[in-house]
Structure 1
């Protein structure tokens, strides 16, 4: 029996080191997770045609303007490839 305890001592020491290593790694992960700010959620993008502050917008093919009589858009060219709409002129703040 005495021999079993002597041979188990290095194993127990190794097991303790591994257990403390796991505890330290878990604690470090929790601390890093608490210290790093959460990613911000992107705001929902409003189409320029729905944004009342956008007076003029276009997609590279057509240009639209918001006026007193409503929204008026130009006709696209023959070989035009439209891109994403963007606001070209804003009014107000």
Structure 2
């Protein structure tokens, strides 16, 4: 008598196949729901970035090379250095600070 090989394909029983289909259907439904929610829900509104020179509450702003201050007669800015690499313009000091 020959012993059955552990690698031989066996026919699955109907109850196990039904359970597998149910689990696979549930996973597909969750993935579909996540995709639909991601595409249908509107993105949160981000505030519009205002340049520091246009923001009246910003008293001093700069980019790492130049520094500007709000004066009574208009903004006054320093001169950049020779080898300066400018970064992002940001507010350094607000009015009342």
TM-score for both structures, normalised by structure 2? 0.60
Aligned residues: CA RMSD? 3.3
What is the aligned counterpart of 1:83 among 81, 87, 91?
Answer: 87
Structure 2 unaligned spans of 5+: 1-10
**Counterpart check, 1:70 vs 2:62:** no
Deviation at 1:66, TM superposition (A): 1.2
Deviation at 1:40, TM superposition (A): 4.7
More helix by share: 1
After TM superposition, where is structure 1 displaced by more than 6 Å over at least 4 residues in a row? none
Task: Give per-residue Cα distances to partners, 1:55-90, cap 9 Å, x unaligned.
Answer: 100111111111221111111112211111121110
Q: Structure 1 residues 15 and 28 mapped into 2: Cα distance closer, same or farther (>3 Å)?
A: same
Alignment of 1:15-26 (within 5 A): 15-26=17-28
